[in-house]
Structure 1
Amino acid sequence: MKNLNKIFSVTLIGIVLFFSSISATHAQSERPERPELIQFPELNPIQVPNVERFTHRGIEFFLLEDKELPLISMSVRIKAGSWLVPEEKTGLQAIAGEVMRSGGTVNVAADEFNQILENRAVSMETGFGLTSGTASMNLLKEDFDEMLPLFIELLTQPAFPEDKLDLAVTQWRSSIARRNDNPTSIAAREFANLIYGNQTVFNRTLEYHHLDAIELEDLREFHRQAMVTGNLMVAVTGDFNARDMRRTLQRAFNEIPRGSGNEFNFPEIPNEFSSGISFVDRPEMNQSIIRIGHIGGFRDNPDYAALQVMNQILSGGFSGRLLQEVRSRQGLAYSVGGNYGSNVLYRGQFFMGLSTASENTARAIHATLHEVRRLQNEPVSEQELNDTRERFLNSLVFRNENRSSALFEQLNNTYLGLPLDAFEQYVEEVRRVTPEDIQRVAREYLRPDEVQILVVGNSDLIGDQLEEFGEVNLIDITIPRPARADAGEMAGDLAAGSEWIGRMAGELIGDLEFTTVMMTGTAAQGGMTFDTESEMRFPGYLKQVINTPMGSQTILYENGSAKVIMGGAEQPVPQLNDALRSSLQRHYLNIALNASELEAFYLGEEEVDEILTAKVYIPEYEVTFFIDMESGLPVMSSYEEMNPQTGADMLVTSYYYDWTESEGVRMAYRTVDRADGTEVAASTVSSHTVE
């Protein structure tokens, strides 16, 4: 029986394979010889669902029934944003949106508020950007009537507790500390500065002093300015009866204070073009991140559709000319793309962005600009235009792939003052674009000879390539530190400070001149101790070999760049650059070697570990030394450093013990480091030599 089953199975498989091969052969015979000969049917007309609209107390409502699932989604568009915030309070709108939600309401504390939402699987969120704010609620249909009053209370009576403001500020401080970690983000930020100007309403950069200026009353005032009837539009979609929902919303939104809406008041952006080459040096990089472009346009431009199709031909994904030519054919880019931005309320920006090997930076820039000029000088073919247009239209279809997308499209158009059928008009205009239109708008709106070029990369590897584009503007992206709480200490005694630093230098190195210190020892951190070998060349080189149970690991800092070497592999660690540079500058031997050139302020006497010390502040390195008034040796040093986890300054102190002389140089053979009083690391030295 088993054999019969086996024979039957084999026979069945053979029959299936036979008919599969016949089907495959038949299918192949029906295929066109070339893929481009395939005939695609016309796209179905875009179906726009019927949205019910009404106005109540100045609030515009948009309702769309969708009974596919027992869910309801509500979104409130709020006419408020950072354009209302003065420059000195930059970031206020973002923090107000966060604390409005995280702080609960005046009647429901934050923890209880969160628990209520969690028990019902309800989502409520609030936030504000440049041109608008949003408040949203998503939940099961059965919970809507019970949760709507809580949502209205969140809109009208947020608590804004101080602890939540402190938490939000701490998180934003941490964000500031990390903002230079990603070179692509650096390029986007600094390129926008070149286009719109520094600290304009369109492109403000949040700094620590902005956060220090924001108070609770600022949040409350921003909320009062935002949450009035004239500023609100409400969209609701889901499983409900529109007539019943209308009555429910009218009752609920009676709680919103009456008031006229805010007026958009954006400064004019000149439609001006100029050429320039700017550079951000990142020594840890082995490639260049490039942005090229100029000011863009407005959404109401009659050429908007032609510009968007032109943009697709130039930089539309895998089929765009930039990718096909600069990346695929010439091999000059790892990634490449771009956009011709056209905003409704203010001018967008036209940019092309790419990343390339450092040695190819100039060639990649030339190749990118060549594609712009080719659009201006050579008409696109009907075939390329039609292929691009079809791909573009296919992608546009998904903007309204469900009923809720269409609802929010109408709300967005109304908010921005666009026609309700703006999308449908746009699609028809795209269909009518001709090759002549593409060449005309490329000539009229693109200025390849008047572009801003920004490069983020490694100056050592790039060399002088950028100079052919003009005088290079070096951009400093150093993050400004918060104002020192003890800035008044600068009023100390300069002469006495110089005398104390000179005495410390004499005790440490005498008259000896050297550049390099080599030492062996141990480092302890996190409950583990490792053997180390270190080499320091002041003020800019450090090599430390750490022997771990998993093998040796080398930390190397030179030319402003840090990297870790392990198992033959190298990994840049740009987040260590500032810390290692500062540690070398603040090292007591570097201070001793440069004592005659440093300003130092004597701030008086202070007892440290029962030792009377002279407190001396060195402003160039923002470090304070506590010098034993008897021996002249440092007992402790201290400085403030940003904690990237909390975004707040912490006091870092180093205590020095067991001073030992070798080859005329004294070193502390035991050092203990503390952060805000808590021991975080300790190290020992067993031997040292100098060269």
Structure 2
Amino acid sequence: MKTHTTFKTLALALGLALAGVAQASTAALPKDLPAYGPDKPLPTPQIAQHTLPNGLTVWVVPREGLPKVNVALSVLGGTAADDAATPAQSQLMASLLNEGTASRSSRDIAEALQAIGGDYSASAGDDAVSIRASALSSHASQLLALVADTALHPTFPAKEVTLAKANALQNLKVQESDPDWQAQRAFGHAAYGDHPYSRDSLTEASVEAASPDTLRALHDARFRPDRALLVIVGRIGADEAFKLAEQQFGNWKASGTALADTAPAPRTAAPQRLIVPRAGAVQSNIRYGRPAVPANDPDYIPLTVANTILGGGFTSRITQDIREDKGYSYSPWSRFSANRVGGSAVATVDVRNEVTGATLAELAKLYGSMASQPASAEELTGAKRLVGGIYLLRNQIQGALTATLANYWVDGLPPSFLGSYVAEANKVTTEQVQAMGRKYFAAKDQSIVIVGDPKAIDAQLKPYGAFTVFKP
């Protein structure tokens, strides 16, 4: 289940919205407009690479421009590595990294960041714990020192742990009242079953079980230099960046046995029909999808383009049919998410109760069209330009570029993927898109998850099989 919101998702949503406005506004223009101009060479930054003697991988991208340095530290072992009895406890651990170290209090850390024009965040995703930080380039050494201190020497003070647990329990109550969150959690279980990818959200049990001692143990088991990547991007030379990395992280030693790699997630699953009862709801929150492939699979790029045609942009088939033609939903869309050992493809459609069944019928038709109806030249070109344009626009932003490189490493992709992604997307053919349709978008293979009022929609669901109440 993908419940966390990342900059990547926000950038994509913004890009799709802007693309939609642009495409909608030009719909009535003459058909004899000039063809697109030739593609310009893709700007590919030079990525200097080095491995410290302790096994820490370091990537550096020197850039001109703003006097700023961005840093990302990623350590393998995210929520997928958490114990099934205490799911997503690494999220709590990550949130407390900057709340106190052996030499700094949480206030000391905050004041030090303020003094260097810095910011800091830490989180746990499915496959890694990640720190993101930035500061003025003139304070790069202080920034690296802070990142190293919080990563290597957190103390998880009892007072801070108690506060974090109270906040987490309150947040759980908020999430449980959110139908979108409920739908995505249920879809995660439908797609991944018992695989750890289905357990990416905190529970009351995992929060209550957390203590300074358990969080320290969790940290010590994850944070190893031989399973970590440090990315440094900004106005700094490669030699200086490598020197700072050695100074701050060179004494980091691995101890104990490294965590086992997460087992591959299922690529297929028996389709399920799940309902999350929400008495009195006036709309149905629908998730329609299945497991897919990890980011390092050959189908990753063709499936990305195919999903864009299906539901990834304003001119996509889902949007044009369900929104523009039928008026069932304001913002229906589909998403393909790929991680280190698995992925998923899912459509998100929120509709009023009266058209729940009709929407499911449209989704089945649209998904089937990906195999039966070849993408037109206009669809294929538009999808490629949207995929490439958003990618290039996003990675012009220094912080986003830093995160992209860190995510590639976590997902098992080489740094060279940064320069090849758009070129490979532009090679995708109509035949490949249709093959993705046959392989991943057959209606019979999709699970259906609905959060809604059973009394209001039960009759409409009968043609789609027996729905089981989802119990987390």
How far apart are the structure 1 equivalents of 2:268 and 2:141? 54
- Counterpart of 1:87 (choices 84, 89, 96) is 84
Output the amino acid matched with 1:421. Answer: S
Who is 1:235 aligned against?
231
**SS of alignment partner, residue 176 of structure 2:** coil
Q: Deviations over 1:250-291 (max 9, x none)?
A: 222223224589455223434434343222221232111111
- Counterpart of 1:394 (choices 389, 393, 398) is 389
Who is 1:425 aligned against?
420
Who is 2:468 aligned against?
473
**SS of alignment partner, residue 250 of structure 1:** helix
How far apart are the structure 1 equivalents of 2:470 and 2:297? 34
- Counterpart of 2:184 (choices 185, 188, 196) is 188
Please tell me whether residue 346 in structure 1 is matched to residue 344 in structure 2.
Answer: no
Query: Which of 1 and 2 has higher RCO (CA within 8 Å, sep 6+)?
Result: 2
Who is 1:76 aligned against?
73
Q: How does 1:54-133 map to 2 (within 5 A)?
A: 54-57=50-53, 58-102=55-99, 104-133=100-129
Who is 2:356 aligned against?
361
- Counterpart of 1:289 (choices 285, 309, 319) is 285
**SS of alignment partner, residue 319 of structure 1:** coil
Who is 1:559 aligned against?
none
Who is 1:579 aligned against?
none
TM-aligned CA distance change 1:207 to 1:38, over 3 Å: same
How far apart are the structure 1 equivalents of 2:417 and 2:160? 41
- Counterpart of 1:449 (choices 439, 444, 448) is 444
**SS of alignment partner, residue 171 of structure 1:** helix
How far apart are the structure 2 equivalents of 1:403 and 1:236? 10
Who is 2:161 aligned against?
165
Runs of 5+ consecutive residues of structure 2 not aligned to the other structure? 1-27
Please tell me whether residue 47 in structure 1 is matched to residue 43 in structure 2.
Answer: yes
Q: Is the 8 A contact 1:227 1:256 kept in 2?
A: no
- Counterpart of 1:249 (choices 245, 264, 280) is 245
How far apart are the structure 2 equivalents of 1:132 and 1:87? 17
- Counterpart of 1:38 (choices 34, 54, 76) is 34
TM-aligned CA distance change 1:415 to 1:449, over 3 Å: closer
- Counterpart of 1:379 (choices 355, 370, 374) is 374
Please tell me whether residue 319 in structure 1 is matched to residue 323 in structure 2.
Answer: no
How far apart are the structure 1 equivalents of 2:407 and 2:468? 40
- Counterpart of 2:214 (choices 215, 218, 225) is 218
440-449 vs 237-246, greater mean Cα deviation? 237-246
Output the amino acid matched with 2:104. Answer: V
TM-aligned CA distance change 1:459 to 1:425, over 3 Å: same
Give the superposition deviation at 1:359.
Answer: 1.1
Who is 2:3 aligned against?
none
Output the amino acid matched with 2:129. Answer: G
How far apart are the structure 2 equivalents of 1:38 and 1:87? 58
Q: Is the 8 A contact 1:281 1:457 kept in 2?
A: yes
Q: Is the 8 A contact 2:93 2:218 kept in 1?
A: yes
230-239 vs 121-130, greater mean Cα deviation? 121-130
Give the superposition deviation at 1:418.
Answer: 1.8
Please tell me whether residue 333 in structure 1 is matched to residue 333 in structure 2.
Answer: no
Q: Is the 8 A contact 1:342 1:348 kept in 2?
A: yes
**SS of alignment partner, residue 322 of structure 1:** helix
Q: Is the 8 A contact 1:187 1:290 kept in 2?
A: yes
Identity %: 20
Give the superposition deviation at 1:371.
Answer: 1.0
Q: Is the 8 A contact 2:274 2:469 kept in 1?
A: yes
TM-score (norm 2): 0.86
Q: Deviations over 1:439-491 (max 9, x none)?
A: 222112322123211111122322411112112212356xxxxxxxxxxxxxx
**Structure (1/2) with the larger helix percentage:** 2
How far apart are the structure 1 equivalents of 2:398 and 2:134? 16
Give the superposition deviation at 1:167.
Answer: 0.7
Give the superposition deviation at 1:183.
Answer: 1.1
How far apart are the structure 1 equivalents of 2:413 and 2:132? 23
TM-aligned CA distance change 1:312 to 1:250, over 3 Å: same
How far apart are the structure 2 equivalents of 1:160 and 1:220? 7
Who is 1:440 aligned against?
435
TM-aligned CA distance change 1:471 to 1:398, over 3 Å: same
How far apart are the structure 2 equivalents of 1:276 and 1:146? 52
TM-aligned CA distance change 1:438 to 1:108, over 3 Å: closer
How far apart are the structure 2 equivalents of 1:164 and 1:468? 52
How far apart are the structure 1 equivalents of 2:385 and 2:153? 50
Cα RMSD (Å):
2.6
Runs of 5+ consecutive residues of structure 1 not aligned to the other structure? 1-31, 478-691
Q: Deviations over 1:546-592 (max 9, x none)?
A: xxxxxxxxxxxxxxxxxxxxxxxxxxxxxxxxxxxxxxxxxxxxxxx
Q: Is the 8 A contact 1:198 1:204 kept in 2?
A: no
